[in-house]
Amino acid sequence: MLNPVTPEFETELRALLPAAAFKADTEKYFTESRARWHGHGLVVAPGTTEEVAAMVKACHAARVGIVPYGGGTGLVGGQIMEDGPTPVVLSVERLNQIRDVYPRENVMVVEAGVILADVQKAAEDIDRLFPLSLASEGSARIGGLLATNAGGVNVLRYGNARAQCLGLEVVRADGSVWHGLSRLRKDNTGYDLRNLMIGSEGTLGIITAAALKLVPCPAERGAAMMAVTSPAAALDLLAMAGARMAEGISAFELMHRQGMDFLAEVGPEVKAPLSPSPEWIVLIDVGLPRGLSPDAALEELFAEAFAAGLVSDGVIAQSEADRLSFWHIRESIPEANRRIGSVSSHDISVPLGSVPAFIDEGAELLEKLGDFRINCFGHLGDGNLHYNVFPAAGKSRADYGNLRDVVKKAVHDLAHAHGGSVSAEHGIGRLKVDDLETYADPAKQAMMRAIKDALDPEGILNPGAVMRRA
Amino acid sequence: MLNPVTPEFETELRALLPAAAFKADTEKYFTESRARWHGHGLVVAPGTTEEVAAMVKACHAARVGIVPYGGGTGLVGGQIMEDGPTPVVLSVERLNQIRDVYPRENVMVVEAGVILADVQKAAEDIDRLFPLSLASEGSARIGGLLATNAGGVNVLRYGNARAQCLGLEVVRADGSVWHGLSRLRKDNTGYDLRNLMIGSEGTLGIITAAALKLVPCPAERGAAMMAVTSPAAALDLLAMAGARMAEGISAFELMHRQGMDFLAEVGPEVKAPLSPSPEWIVLIDVGLPRGLSPDAALEELFAEAFAAGLVSDGVIAQSEADRLSFWHIRESIPEANRRIGSVSSHDISVPLGSVPAFIDEGAELLEKLGDFRINCFGHLGDGNLHYNVFPAAGKSRADYGNLRDVVKKAVHDLAHAHGGSVSAEHGIGRLKVDDLETYADPAKQAMMRAIKDALDPEGILNPGAVMRRA
């Protein structure tokens, strides 16, 4: 059993760390954007790896839980512990240094508290791209992004957060430090602890710094919106685009007309890209080598796809402003969703080939359960759909209170039946611990438990996240 | 302590598995290409995952060690156990089915015994590329390639073996099966056990099948050989090429004149690409989107690099035959090396920015140690050099017997001092267990041991590989 933070323990920590590490107003650390949880704890913000190590060592000795806190943007409650003995909330905000930049290596070493947008900017400053990009990039911090293996819009081309990381510095449960800030592209010396830490949501160690991989900026950028005749046609279009441009496709996003209707109904105001509004639109973003015109490449793709009956309409960005306006539409959908208010939201993935069947079967299932509007959109290139279920027009989420869990279970069961995931990019946190127990392979769960017990025998690291407290 | 295979235990296994799983002539399983080790054991080749599970369960109950055996092409003795209680050698050769191919998903599910070249061929058959490519691809098997996280010539663009894998089926030490053959591009549900298994060299579980990721074939292929004015110039050329073509660069290989001289001295016979032979050559292989000429792109790159003083000479492939002939030269170097006979060979990596210093300092160090010829070549884009040290002309490796360990230590110490790795792509096996203990971070070693003990408490999985027997 863990112990709570006591006044004596707080005194001990205050003797170990400078005053700046202790915050006066800590309420913001206990809430999150969806207002589902309310946390508690002693908020501590160490300024160096050594301070983190000293603090963790003290918690380990006292058997006090530690809840790591990045930008607070997680959607599954990984950063918020509601119950149990009062923990330390370890905010990484003061670990905010870009330690080194290596242009010749396409590498940057940053501390865990650096904000994603600042990493992107520092990469731009040396004419490189840090491709991790997602809605919360203005506040999400690198430590949290790696701990949750964040996804976003560029995963198709560049991979999840884990693919952007070459090395880590991690404070272990006992306060010892793994100095693993490798800048190597290849290193086959022993177990892959980097990827084990990434995505473990702070339950196996505290990431204090990371060596991040940068990539060259694509020389020529472009984008198109195309009306596809079906989700299956969208997949065929993706394959056709792949045969032409391979990794040149940076993003391939699917949007249903429902999203456009929501935008028209509640805003934010956007200009509809195609009129009349088609049932399904894809946003294709490309970054091509020097000497190849994105417009021409996208026009040729459209012509081939039109001849094959995959697309019925389309518009190609004529400028960077056009390209950004396409993205503005895509990125406004979550806000419209929030304004409408979902009955249940799902971050699922299925094998690419199962996307059309999942969409058809999902609609059938929900029709049997009640009167809903479905806004299905997301990162089609990754098989990752934000499959969100809303009240029928004129109704509100309150009218569906008793159906919420039924809808969630139906959608998750369906994704699972297709070999899919019930958390494609948001992680498990505390929200989906039950789902993990329900859907994950038993051998996988047994291995996870064994690893957790091996690396954090006292269970002090993010207690109750990912897995139930032992 | 482990127990040896006894006649009684063999009888038990023969009752569990079909006769075809037992080989008459087993000598080939006990030797390897460099003739450094000679193994022993009872060779068993199960034909299904269930047979593997039954066999492992029996070994677990009897505490008999298991040495997994793929294509036998490993260079660090991971597949060969010389001493200790007689183990079972588990050959995956009869797990040789391509279970499913999913063209729309760019996915193929194969069993562990499928040979890499057969996977490449099956991908070609559906107009896709399986990009893992290395010298032993005609005999290396997928299980071993994943267990060792194999590298090869396309890592710069496509990543190591781990980057080609979406899911795994693994038999655990107790014989239970992790059914993790996910075909998902995104799945953030729990710890990353896939990457933990990949590269663990059979010490944490037995890979029986894998879901492999395919990629679109690049539409336009091309290559060039360019004489670079220095290793630093080679890195600048790589950055220049990246700014133009980003992921379009499939490989970027460095070769020293010594390699050309060895080829001239002992063969295999190849046509020198550039005359007079420059000190440093890079082979640039590109795969570009449709509509962009590789010749033109490489010519423009050469012109820019020439103006910047990075390159002094070059030749661009005018045909696929030219491109293949460039690769033939590169791939003949290891054979020439074998014919000369090295004093000590090293598979090191350093951060890209440290490559020039490493090369300079290595030459200085070795000059102090004796009279050597250094053939330094490899995957410059990955910072991975095959840094091989040979006798001076007219001498043989026998003349250097007492210097071999000194040379090895000097090279490894130097790589380590630059934040490098002493095994960039070959793994630890049994050859480099001491190196791991010497050079790996203590916290990393402690975590590796804790994970090994947690997942294989009896220590039956590949005993003595990666880590010393407990």
DSSP B75-141: SSSTT---SSSPPEEEE-TT---EEEEEGGGTEEEEETT-BHHHHHHHHHHTTEE---B-TTTTT-B
User: Which of A307, A318, A340, A338 shows the shortest CA–CA distance to A273?
Assistant: A318
Cis status, amide bond into B276, omega within 30 of 0: yes
pLDDT at A36: 86
Inter-chain residue contact B190 with A445, CB threshold 8 Å: yes
Q: Count of A–B CB contacts within 8 Å?
A: 330
Q: Which amino acid is at B75?
A: L
Residues B299 and B367 reside in one and the same domain: yes
pLDDT at A42: 98
Residues B282 and B351 reside in one and the same domain: yes
* B94 Cβ contact list (under 8 Å, min separation 6): B20, B21, B45, B46, B47, B113
| B243 neighbors A217 (Cβ within 8 angstroms) | yes
Domain boundary among B183, B216, B249: B216
Residue B275 lies in a domain: yes
For residue B292, the chain A residues in CB contact (below 8 A) are 288-289, 291-292
Residue A414 sits in a domain of what CATH number? 3.30.70.2740
* A336 Cβ contact list (under 8 Å, min separation 6): A259, A262, A263, A265, A266, A267, A268
CA–CA separation, A42 vs A449, rounded Å?
A: 27
Residues B42 and B153 reside in one and the same domain: no
Tell me the nearest-neighbour CA distance from B23 into chain A, angstroms: 31
Residue B436 lies in a domain: no
- pLDDT tens digits in sequence order for chain A, 470 residues long: 899 999 999 999 999 999 999 988 899 999 988 888 999 999 999 999 999 999 999 999 999 999 999 999 999 999 999 999 999 999 999 999 999 999 999 999 999 999 999 999 999 999 999 999 998 999 999 999 999 999 999 999 999 999 999 999 999 999 999 999 999 999 999 999 999 999 999 999 999 999 999 999 999 999 999 999 999 999 999 999 999 999 999 999 999 999 999 999 999 999 888 999 999 999 999 999 999 999 999 999 999 999 999 999 999 999 999 999 999 999 999 999 999 999 999 999 999 999 999 999 999 999 999 999 999 999 999 999 999 999 999 999 899 978 999 999 999 999 999 999 999 999 999 999 999 999 999 999 999 999 999 999 999 999 999 999 87
Residues B404 and B320 reside in one and the same domain: yes
| B144 neighbors B206 (Cβ within 8 angstroms) | no
Inter-chain residue contact B383 with A435, CB threshold 8 Å: no
Range of the domain at B14: 7-91
For residue A56, the chain B residues in CB contact (below 8 A) are none
Inter-chain residue contact B384 with A186, CB threshold 8 Å: yes
A155 phi and psi angles, rounded to 5 deg: -65, -35
A185, A220, A221, A412: best to mutate for the B interface, most B CBs within 10 A: A185
User: Which of B285, B295, B288, B317 shows the shortest CA–CA distance to B152?
Assistant: B285
A188, A212, A286: best to mutate for the B interface, most B CBs within 10 A: A188
Nearest to A289 among B103, B245, B435 (CB): B245
Inter-chain residue contact A441 with B382, CB threshold 8 Å: no
Q: Positive or negative, the Cα torsion across A53, A58, A61, A66?
A: negative
pLDDT at B470: 75
Nearest to A244 among B185, B289, B442 (CB): B289
Residue B66 sits in a domain of what CATH number? 3.30.43.10
Residues A212 and A229 reside in one and the same domain: no
pLDDT at B62: 98
Helix pair angle (A231-245, A355-369), 10° resolution: 160
Inter-chain residue contact B466 with A239, CB threshold 8 Å: no
* B131 Cβ contact list (under 8 Å, min separation 6): B154, B157, B158, B164, B215
CA–CA separation, A141 vs A150, rounded Å?
A: 11
Residue A158 sits in a domain of what CATH number? 3.30.465.10
The DSSP secondary-structure symbol of B214 reads P
B102, B109, B185: best to mutate for the A interface, most A CBs within 10 A: B185
Residue B454 lies in a domain: no
Inter-chain residue contact B447 with A193, CB threshold 8 Å: yes
Nearest to A453 among B104, B300, B454 (CB): B454
Residues B61 and B121 reside in one and the same domain: no
Inter-chain residue contact A248 with B423, CB threshold 8 Å: no
DSSP A167-230: EEEEE-TTS-EEEE----S---SS--HHHHHTTSTTSS-EEEEEEEEPEEPPSEEEEEEEEESS
- C-alpha distances (whole Å) from A468 to each of A84, A430, A432, A464, B275 are 12, 9, 10, 5, 68
DSSP B137-156: TTT-BHHHHHHTT--BTTHH
Torsional class of B84: left (φ above 0), alpha (ψ -120 to 50), beta (otherwise): left
Q: Which residue of A has its CA nearest to B454?
A: A450
- C-alpha distances (whole Å) from A201 to each of A152, A163, A206, A245 are 17, 16, 9, 35
Nearest to B428 among A190, A247, A421 (CB): A190
Residue A239 lies in a domain: yes
Residue B433 lies in a domain: no
Tell me the nearest-neighbour CA distance from B358 into chain A, angstroms: 14
| A67 neighbors A39 (Cβ within 8 angstroms) | yes
Residue B314 lies in a domain: yes
Tell me the nearest-neighbour CA distance from A353 into chain B, angstroms: 6
CA–CA separation, B400 vs B397, rounded Å?
A: 5
Residues A279 and A376 reside in one and the same domain: no
For residue A384, the chain B residues in CB contact (below 8 A) are 185-186
Inter-chain residue contact A422 with B172, CB threshold 8 Å: no
- The segments of chain B whose pLDDT lies below 50 read none
DSSP A97-139: -EEEEEGGGTEEEEETT-BHHHHHHHHHHTTEE-----TTTTT
Residues B263 and B195 reside in one and the same domain: no
Structural domains in chain B (count): 3
Residue B344 sits in a domain of what CATH number? 3.30.70.2190
Residue A453 lies in a domain: no
| A229 neighbors A309 (Cβ within 8 angstroms) | yes
Domain boundary among B170, B201, B216: B216
Residues B250 and B169 reside in one and the same domain: no
Domain boundary among B67, B91, B115: B91
CA–CA separation, A81 vs A92, rounded Å?
A: 17
Residues A149 and A104 reside in one and the same domain: yes
Residues A316 and A363 reside in one and the same domain: no
Torsional class of B419: left (φ above 0), alpha (ψ -120 to 50), beta (otherwise): left
Residues A35 and A81 reside in one and the same domain: yes
| B41 neighbors B86 (Cβ within 8 angstroms) | yes
What is residue A56's three-state secondary structure? helix
Residue B450 lies in a domain: no
Q: Positive or negative, the Cα torsion across B183, B185, B189, B195?
A: positive
Tell me the nearest-neighbour CA distance from B78 into chain A, angstroms: 12
Strands A66-69 and A88-91: parallel
B106, B189, B436: best to mutate for the A interface, most A CBs within 10 A: B189
